Amino acid sequence: MSRPIYDRVALIGLGLIASSMGHAMKKWGLAGTIAGHARSAETRAAALEIGFCDEVFETAAEAAKGADLIVLAVPVGAMGAVAEEIGPHLKPGATVTDVGSVKQAVVDAVSPHLPEGVHFVPGHPLAGTEHSGPHSGFATLFQNRWHILIPGTAAPEAVARLRSLWEAMGANVDEMDAAHHDLVLAVTSHTPHLIAYTMVGVADHLRRVTESEVIKYSAAGFRDFTRIAASDPTMWRDVFLTNREATLDILGRFTEELFVLQRAIRMGDGQLLHDYFTRTRAIRRSIIEAGQDTAAPDFGRTKPSEG
């Protein structure tokens, strides 16, 4: 067992990421006491029953009181309200972080509510599954996955301490500014999710293909779109509304690329298609070589990952 990195950690929101953090901190002895808060009494009870929280509270303010690390694991659209609630109850020297998929909007929403002497280090774990809720977490979720920290103006020692926590939970940690994070994620996560939602929606509206056929033959690629499109709808609504500019930029570029392929198919330009697919295939190989996925069938995952 490691020596605790934080004596008291408060998890605000007890879904997949927070529960996985709780399991990981328990497994490797990284926190002295883990407090939790969720709006639902059922979720709070589940967190205690499962055991990834030592204490749960009805309000975020109670959970945050006296904590050395406070993790905001609520939808991006709710971050500001939670920060406003907990702000007056944070102890000097505490660190506040989050696990949202968008960073600039979180910085703008949370920063004004945090008192002087509290360190704010936004973060984003690039790990997850399409499952949600307190029962979905597991200790190894972050193993060999990237976690991005946004140091901003936080004290270097606060950033280093939070980095050590994520590394102890198995993550690779990188640092970047909020705007760059949002552009990178618009390419690697946000726009692919929107495309997946759209493709599943197209199948739903294409009545020439029956529902049974869509399900029966989904192994041909549609299955992978449905895996992504099964992700939490509240979270993804907030992602697109709060990372609007970067997502629209990448969607515009995607549309341009789609027109190029559309024209190549119409004109029978097999060489362009072959060259294009060869270049994109190399990116998949690079992801496998970087250890971020495996070439095994069914993604090689025991728990399907969002990527």
pLDDT of 305 above 70: no
- When pLDDT is averaged across residues 13-42 and rounded to a whole number, the result is 97
Segment 80-110, tens digit of pLDDT:
999 999 999 999 999 999 999 999 999 999 9
Please count the residues of the chain: 307
pLDDT of 299 above 60: no
Is 64:205 a contact under the CB 8 Å cutoff?
no
Sequence-separated (6 or more) residues with CB below 8 Å from residue 234 = 75, 77
Least-confidence region, from 104-108, 169-173, 224-228:
224-228
pLDDT of 206 above 80: no
CA-nearest of 140, 147, 141, 181 to 164 is: 147
Given this model, what pLDDT does residue 288 score?
74
Segment 175-185, tens digit of pLDDT:
999 999 999 99
DSSP string computed for 291-307: TSS-SSGGGG-SS----
Domains of the chain (ranges plus CATH)?
Answer: 6-176 (3.40.50.720), 180-268 (1.10.3660.10)
Higher-confidence residue: 126 or 235? 126
pLDDT of 304 above 60: no
Lay out the sheet containing 146-149: strands in order across: 123-125, 146-149, 172-175
CB under 8 A, 24+ apart: contacts of 162-167: 162/69, 162/95, 162/97, 162/121, 162/123, 164/5, 165/5, 165/6, 165/25, 165/30, 165/69, 166/123, 166/125, 166/142
Given this model, what pLDDT does residue 30 score?
97
Given this model, what pLDDT does residue 300 score?
41
- When pLDDT is averaged across residues 207-222 and rounded to a whole number, the result is 67
Least-confidence region, from 13-27, 155-169, 219-233, 248-262:
219-233
Burial of 85 (0-12, 13-18, 19+ CB in 10 A): middle
